[in-house]
């Protein structure tokens, strides 16, 4: 696997503009995501719908991948190059994705980020709290209200 990463462009995209890191994050493949990040994969790259790897990992509830990406983001944040409130083409943030799907552990990880925007709205004016409540995710609603 390592030799393949050395021989090919690590951020090559498919017809949906997804990279290998997008697919690893979406599938919850933490070891693969770690290897890709270590080899320099772009953690901020966006797919066709504007989603980053963090969006996809948060949406799927993949806690280990979210932790990995947030740890990577800390280094990039220090350099001023990462927006943890990045929005996809529908205006959804990683927090919005995790909250709407009831991924309590991922929501906790994201809420631990300084300055995260709890009231960020999607293109339909829905906040993470609104979406979590609409889907009946009581534990996530409590977390958001306590923040």
Tell me the domains of the chain and their CATH numbers. 2-146 (1.25.40.20)
pLDDT at position 18, please?
95
| Type and span of the H or E element at 69 | helix 63-78
Quick check: helix, strand or coil at residue 26? helix
Q: Tell me the angle at which helices 63-78 and 30-38 cross, rounded to the nearest 10 degrees.
A: 20
Task: List C-alpha distances in Å: 63 to 24, 55, 108, 109, 134.
Answer: 13, 12, 10, 8, 23
pLDDT at position 71, please?
86
Express each pLDDT in 41-52 by its tens digit.
Answer: 998 899 999 999
Number of H helices, E strands in the chain: 9, 0
pLDDT at position 84, please?
85
| Contact predicate 143/111, CB 8 Å | yes
Express each pLDDT in 54-98 by its tens digit.
Answer: 999 999 999 999 999 988 756 655 544 557 899 999 999 999 999
pLDDT at position 80, please?
43
């Amino acid at each position: 696997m390592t030799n393949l990463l050395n021989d090919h462009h690590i951020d090559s995209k498919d017809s949906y503009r997804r990279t290998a890191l997008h697919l690893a994050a979406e599938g919850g493949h933490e070891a693969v995501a770690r290897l890709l990040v270590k080899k320099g994969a772009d953690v901020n790259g966006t797919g066709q719908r504007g989603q980053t790897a963090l969006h996809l990992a948060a949406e799927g509830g993949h806690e280990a991948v979210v932790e990995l990406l947030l740890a990577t983001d800390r280094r990039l944040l220090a350099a001023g190059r990462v927006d943890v409130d990045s929005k996809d083409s529908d205006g959804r943030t990683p927090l919005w994705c995790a909250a709407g799907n009831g991924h309590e552990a991922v929501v906790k990880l994201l809420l631990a980020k300084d300055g995260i925007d709890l009231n960020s709205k999607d293109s339909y004016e829905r906040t993470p709290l609104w979406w979590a409540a609409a889907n009946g995710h009581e534990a996530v609603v409590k977390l958001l209200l306590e923040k």
